[in-house]
Amino acid sequence: MGAPMARRVKKSGFHLVVCDRNPAVLREFETTGAVVATTAKDCGNADVIVLLLGNDEQLVDVTVGSEGIVHGIPDGHHPVVCVMGTTLPDTLRKIQSPLIGAGAHLIDAPISGGIPGAEDGTLTIMLGGEQADIDTVEPVMKAMGTNLFRCGDLGSAEVVKVVNNMLSIATMFLTAEAIDLMEKNGAKFEQTAPILNVSTGRNFLTVDVPECRRQYGSWARTESAFTALLNVVRKDLRLARELASSSGLHLGLLDEVSKYLDSTDDSVMDRWMRHGRRR
């Protein structure tokens, strides 16, 4: 997700500094004229710092760790740090004070729309934090997304994103099984989707069949891509369970979907690869 989003920012004319653990990604951006940073600390003099990380531990390390952003912000500089991955509100509060102490501002700006949305610059971006900070980063956000929503105070956008992930992850896996069921019994998805879309089975994958197949094909384009996706969705549902627990809620279906994903086998990837083929 991060690389195509960064390409959109560069294409929009912004001066781009890239920091990534993958040397191949850094080499690609270096050829485009972007500045390559060795550590997160080296990004501290940017005006807008966009973070897209895999988990809460990485977020804490990149922001306030020994080589974190807080150690690279020059005196008198006040960057806006935008947390665009999915994390918990408590984690944002944990890093907020050190960032403020270093002169930075913090917003949460999680995204939805997948790799195709990142490539096309059509992501949905949920925004939480001070309005002045959101106004500051809005031009950069518009380079990456077309649907920007102000959710409330810091952490509010992450709550919306966690809930969105709960719904979308369950839909992704159940819709794939539904397509298998209909096509095994002679009903083509392309002919069935218009019926679903004026019925109660309508969802984000049925509303655009070519895009649905593109999504499944992207998610399962290689074994490593599918494994990476599984790791992300498992993490997202773990965050949902943690948020539910801290809210005093027991959500049984969420627990069952999580168990299903923990035991996913190769047949699921095979199914998604089939659905990703153009018909």
pLDDT for res 108: 99
pLDDT for res 107: 99
Q: Which of 10, 94, 161, 235 is catalytic?
A: 161
Write the CA distances from 219 to 54, 76, 87, integer angstroms.
Answer: 17, 43, 21
| Dist. CA 247–CA 259, nearest whole Å | 21
Q: Over range 238-261, report the average pLDDT.
A: 97
pLDDT for res 115: 83
- pLDDT-derived band of residue 279, with 50, 70 and 90 as boundaries? low
Write the CA distances from 262 to 148, 171, 254, integer angstroms.
Answer: 33, 16, 12
pLDDT for res 264: 87
What 3-state DSSP class applies to 126? strand
pLDDT over 60 (residue 195): yes
pLDDT for res 161: 98
Residue 182 near residue 205, CB atoms below 8 Å: no
Count of CB atoms situated within 10 Å of the CB of 163: 12
* Helix and strand totals (H; E) in the chain: 12, 8
Residue 59 near residue 53, CB atoms below 8 Å: yes
Domains and CATH numbers, the chain: 2-152 (3.40.50.720), 159-275 (1.10.1040.10)
What mean pLDDT is reported for the chain?
A: 95
What sign has the CA pseudo-torsion 134, 136, 137, 139? positive
Q: Is residue 259 annotated as part of the catalytic site, yes or no?
A: no
pLDDT for res 14: 97
Across the chain, which distance is largest between two alpha carbons, in Å? 67
Q: Which tokens is 178 given?
A: 């539904």
Q: Over range 165-174, report the average pLDDT.
A: 96
Amino acid in the structure at residue 128: G
Cα angle value 234/4/83 (rounded, 5°): 55
pLDDT for res 276: 86
Cα angle value 66/69/74 (rounded, 5°): 115
Q: Over range 131-139, report the average pLDDT.
A: 98
pLDDT for res 183: 94
Q: pTM, whole model, 2 decimals? A: 0.89
Q: Which tokens is 279 given?
A: 């018909």
pLDDT for res 278: 57
